Structure 1
Amino acid sequence: MFGLLAGVLLLAGGGFAGYWLLSDDAEDPQVTAAQERLRPFLLAWQKDRAERAGTYTDSPSEAESLIDSVMTNLKPSSTKITAGSGELKDKGEVRVPFTVAMRIPGVGAYDWKSEARVLKRSGKWTVAFTTPMIHPEMRPGQTLALSGGGDRAKILDRKGDELRAASLTGVVDGKSGKGVSGLEARYDDRLAGGKGPRKAVVVADRGTGKAAKTLSSAKRAKGRPVKTTIDPRVQQAAADALSGVKKKAAVVAVDPRNGHILAAANKPGGANRALTGRYAPGSTFKVVTTAALLDKGLRPSDPAPCPKYEHVNGQRFENQDTFTLPKGSTFREAFAQSCNTFFVGARDKLSNSSLRETSQAFGIGGKWDVGTSTYDGSVPVNESDNDKAASVIGQGRVQASPLVMASLAATVKNGTFQQPVLVPDAVREKYRAPKNLDPKVVADLRTLMRATVTSGSGKALKGLPGEPHAKTGTAEFGTEKPPRTHAWMIGYQGGSPDLAWAVLLEDGGSGGSDAGPVAAKFLKGLG
């Protein structure tokens, strides 16, 4: 078979469906006998049985080779061959017109008319094989093939190079040339140059693959590239950070100044959990809860009891590994060590709508126009005391994607929410948060997130350059006892480079001990 030469696409493999129709109106017994011999040849061709079709001809190997070449290159999704009435031209020669009608991915319906010569030799009828019989526009040494498949534009990173992130770009169907997932699907018409046939059927030289004649039309417009905000250096660091992870995982990084998505890595590829995954954020959501408590007047230096258990209407809440903090511990320490029982105990300071209202300042639950599909989070109004108790520690009905949590960290760094963006020129209107955080609340959040690294559960980042700020999270899910957990860590760089990020390990254990090392590897990879 062939490769792609001179703009001609020669595809491999094939399968199709169709049906057979042949006229039996002939009265002359010679015509009838000739048509009976032609019938299985055309039927075998229709069913893509090139070797069998060849056995009905006077040149079996040549017929098999050409039919196989045509069917493999065009790879029709359906084939129908209709033969007309034969005509006796001379003693021992009958000519039968027939029509081949195919549906070809990337082309659509394509059909042609031809004629078969059936000869009587040594008392037996046989199909006289010639190249023009397969298609009248072909000559010996030629075949049918597809062209135009190479005109599709590329998806680019922020530097203008081809984007290397399969879970973002998605997949193009090799048969039709259509994007079927990711950005390839979302921007299919733009990348392909519009609607209509994407490929053309051509007569091609079998030796060189060079097109000799175009038989069907294809649109001539060239596709336009799609440029993203992905920074190849940051994307590579994110991908490298996941290289040794055995769980399903994601790393997202955004620029706090403008929301540009700098990296979105997924392991394994395919599902874009980085942008569209829906998970309980666990203790990383305590950034929102803390903002709500600070807004109610609580200060980082205020006392923060952290007992072993906290009970709410018979439901028991506890800290990871049931740790406690000593008497006299402060809000700052409860945040840094991620004390669930303190936050559950502080729920009475918040109304049923407090978390939802505060989350709006982080853009959570808004309708984001990012330039690709995203899940933008949900923080419902609490319906009960138990619902509120679960929500303050990022459980219950609170849900977010890694992108949402990276954006949450970015909001703390920037001071105000900047909607994430992946394809800037496709964004019609950015979502704007209906409220902003109080500057004093922002300042306290920054202090608390830095303390998480220097003296708390984010110690995996301690000593790294760039002054990382962070919050860990261990989110329970499922009904098993003990429950299984997703591991989270979110954060931002207080210095350079200017980015915020989120790490998620599905069913990955603990935020501090499992997500933390992945986050550290990511930050180290930035250089």
Structure 2
Amino acid sequence: MTSETYPHPRPARRRGRTVLGITVALAAVVGGIVYVVNDSADANGAAADAFLEKWSQGDLQAAAEHTDDPTAALKGLTRYQTELRVGGFKADAGSPTGEGETRTTPFEAEVVLKDAGKWTYSSRVKLVEKDGEQLVHWEPAVLHPKAGAGDRLVRVTRLPERGQVETSDGKSLDGHAPSLVGVVGEPTEQGLSNAGLNGAEASEVGLSGLQYRHQKKLAGKPGTAIEVVSGDGDGPGKLVYQADGGGAKSVSTTIDLPTQKAAEGALADLEENAALVAIRPSTGEVVAVADNPPSGANRALTGRYPPGSDFKVVSTAALLQTGVAPEDPLACEKYESVNGQRFENQDTFTLPSGSTFADNFAQSCNTGLISLRDRLSNSALHDTAELFGIGATWDVGAATFDGQVPVNASENDKAASMIGQGRVQASPLVMASVAATVRSGTFRQPVVVPSAVKDRRPERALDSGIAEQLRDLMRKVVSEGSGQEALAGISGDLGAKTGTAEYGEEDPPRTHAWFIGFKDDLAYAIMAEDGGSGGADAGPVAAKFLKGLA
């Protein structure tokens, strides 16, 4: 037994026997513990004392040697300790009784069960003589008095009813947001470790999502029973110990069920892998998390993608801080060359002479924006992204990827970063937060499980003038830009930004389709892997989502 072994038993207390009218007692010191034994060849209890002492010390081999069947005894003692998960055992022997074949030594057992409290019971061992030596008679009843021939003791875990993952108003999320909620299933080694359990204690644990992250709260504390069962395990066992479990609690999220249903409906007909996240800008509460396919990877919160032109919201904020104005003239040419690297617009479109910075933003012109790169230092995009919380570590109560915008290493790196390519990466959650920050004028770190958030990033307000300019620019995308067709006929205060992000090594490259936006006090981001164009392909998904809210 390890350092968890319970302290050695106290000395057995009994009176010395009278031999020829003289009371004789011998104090034997064993392992620093005084045991009183009799100075007689057939003295009752000496074998019992030695057996119980070694058992208490965890020396099961030595204990078994004090029985009349060491092989069976060692097997039984070992099974008792391992199957019941004994953390400590102490036997306090009483005075032996009887003579001859009825000789017995009673004892009080105190058993510390790992994760299940302390179990005490009274038992006794029978004593026999074999080849002139006093021994403990081995039988299952040595382990517990209710164990008969062929019986064994087993530990049974009884799980309390599992808590639920709930919406913000206490409704079950069962059947919704499966990638966020996660799954419960047969325990894996990692799942058991997370739950603080072993395979004997759990038939199922949270394997992913919030079910995994909040396993201990959702599962509560398992109850434990010790039963005596027949050797073949058939039939009900005889209950000899029970420690009640309980304490399972539900996990409340910020998810709004009607908004969640609208998000899931918007993705339902897509063939591509896709994700949609919706946030309440005034609070930062995440009100919808949807993925296509619904189960499996949580792309919405943990996906890592180049955000493409949706990142122009951040690039524009950086340029506005340098004094660029929406009404400034800005040409949108087919190509912009940076140290021999050619950047172009989707389908190599151009804008007419006399176009402004606002026109370039509304139509998502890459070349016009990149042509202003000299206004930005190598750290400008990184620093401005921090105003939107990008790149920080978020504590939302669920697993997330919180984006990255490295300091630029070259002009080419800067040019690519300005249009959300190169080393810039974001999740749909991050880009929904960008739209939410523009809508409210303040970065509020998103939150999914309020009770689990211990270190929410502090709020950070944008310059009020810049925030208002960004809102107007995003409104222009809807009123006359690349989002106009998709959101036609939808009412409310609408703003948007379309995005098409290149990835891979193919020529021409494949593209992810992005669309972020706001409608009143709701901000959202949509991403479809290999989905084509932001306006033409992701835009209709946004429209379906917003219409589904009505």
Cα 1:200–1:270 shift into 2, 3 Å: farther
Shift of residue 174, structure 1, vs aligned partner: 3.5
2:318–2:384 CA contact under 8 A, matched in 1: yes
Q: Distance in 2 between matches of 1:151 and 1:512?
A: 47
Shift of residue 134, structure 1, vs aligned partner: 7.5
Cα deviation per residue 1:157-195 (whole Å; 9 max; x = unaligned)? 10111123211111222453321211111111112224x
Shift of residue 221, structure 1, vs aligned partner: 2.7
In structure 2, runs of 5+ residues without a counterpart are 1-67, 86-112, 117-137, 141-147, 188-201, 230-234
Cα 1:450–1:203 shift into 2, 3 Å: farther
**Structure-2 residue corresponding to 1:59:** none
Matched, 1:404 2:404: no
Matched, 1:169 2:181: yes
Superposition map of 1:71-110 within 5 A: none
**Structure-2 residue corresponding to 1:458:** 483
Q: Distance in 2 between matches of 1:365 and 1:136?
A: 58
Cα deviation per residue 1:302-335 (whole Å; 9 max; x = unaligned)? 1110000111111110000111101111111110
Backbone CA RMSD of aligned residues:
3.3
2:160–2:248 CA contact under 8 A, matched in 1: no
**Of residues 528, 536, 546 in structure 2, which corresponds to 1:513?**
536
Cα deviation per residue 1:16-50 (whole Å; 9 max; x = unaligned)? xxxxxxxxxxxxxxxxxxxxxxxxxxxxxxxxxxx
Cα 1:257–1:212 shift into 2, 3 Å: farther
Q: Distance in 1 between matches of 2:479 and 2:324?
A: 22
Q: Distance in 2 between matches of 1:424 and 1:294?
A: 34
**Of residues 442, 450, 454 in structure 1, which corresponds to 2:467?**
442
Shift of residue 441, structure 1, vs aligned partner: 0.8
1:279–1:401 CA contact under 8 A, matched in 2: yes
Q: Distance in 1 between matches of 2:240 and 2:317?
A: 67
- Secondary structure in 2 matching 1:252: strand
**Of residues 220, 224, 232 in structure 2, which corresponds to 1:193?**
220
Matched, 1:375 2:401: yes
Matched letter for residue 512 of structure 1: G
**Of residues 337, 340, 344 in structure 1, which corresponds to 2:363?**
337
Cα deviation per residue 1:203-242 (whole Å; 9 max; x = unaligned)? 99xxxxx988546655513212111101011111111111
**Of residues 311, 321, 325 in structure 2, which corresponds to 1:295?**
321
Cα 1:305–1:215 shift into 2, 3 Å: farther
Cα 1:363–1:222 shift into 2, 3 Å: same
- Secondary structure in 1 matching 2:500: strand
Q: Distance in 1 between matches of 2:139 and 2:310?
A: 70
**Structure-2 residue corresponding to 1:152:** 162
Shift of residue 133, structure 1, vs aligned partner: 8.0
Percent identity over the alignment? 54
1:145–1:203 CA contact under 8 A, matched in 2: no
Matched, 1:258 2:268: no
Cα deviation per residue 1:367-425 (whole Å; 9 max; x = unaligned)? 21111111111111111000000000000111111000000000001111001001111
Shift of residue 297, structure 1, vs aligned partner: 1.1
1:458–1:470 CA contact under 8 A, matched in 2: yes
Cα 1:145–1:512 shift into 2, 3 Å: farther
Shift of residue 264, structure 1, vs aligned partner: 0.6
Q: Distance in 1 between matches of 2:534 and 2:223?
A: 48
Superposition map of 1:49-128 within 5 A: none
Q: Distance in 2 between matches of 1:479 and 1:252?
A: 28
Cα 1:319–1:173 shift into 2, 3 Å: same
Cα 1:288–1:214 shift into 2, 3 Å: farther
**Structure-1 residue corresponding to 2:211:** 184
Cα 1:397–1:155 shift into 2, 3 Å: same
Q: Distance in 2 between matches of 1:454 and 1:215?
A: 75
- Secondary structure in 1 matching 2:185: coil
Q: Distance in 2 between matches of 1:133 and 1:379?
A: 71
1:452–1:470 CA contact under 8 A, matched in 2: yes
Cα 1:436–1:357 shift into 2, 3 Å: farther
Superposition map of 1:307-326 within 5 A: 307-326=333-352
Q: Distance in 2 between matches of 1:352 and 1:397?
A: 13
Cα deviation per residue 1:269-323 (whole Å; 9 max; x = unaligned)? 2211111111110000000011111111111111110000111111110000111
Cα 1:98–1:382 shift into 2, 3 Å: closer
Q: Distance in 2 between matches of 1:256 and 1:478?
A: 33
TM-score w.r.t. the length of structure 1 is 0.70
Matched letter for residue 265 of structure 1: A
1:306–1:324 CA contact under 8 A, matched in 2: yes
How many residues align structurally?
406
Q: Distance in 1 between matches of 2:263 and 2:536?
A: 18
Q: Distance in 1 between matches of 2:517 and 2:384?
A: 19
Cα 1:216–1:289 shift into 2, 3 Å: farther
2:397–2:453 CA contact under 8 A, matched in 1: yes
TM-score w.r.t. the length of structure 2 is 0.67
1:148–1:218 CA contact under 8 A, matched in 2: no
Q: Distance in 2 between matches of 1:96 and 1:430?
A: 58
1:158–1:228 CA contact under 8 A, matched in 2: yes
Matched letter for residue 216 of structure 2: D
Q: Distance in 2 between matches of 1:186 and 1:136?
A: 37
Higher-Rg structure is 2
Cα 1:301–1:202 shift into 2, 3 Å: farther
Matched, 1:231 2:281: no
Q: Distance in 2 between matches of 1:202 and 1:153?
A: 27
Q: Distance in 1 between matches of 2:223 and 2:184?
A: 13
Cα deviation per residue 1:37-91 (whole Å; 9 max; x = unaligned)? xxxxxxxxxxxxxxxxxxxxxxxxxxxxxxxxxxxxxxxxxxxxxxxxxx9xxxx
Matched letter for residue 281 of structure 1: P
2:159–2:245 CA contact under 8 A, matched in 1: no
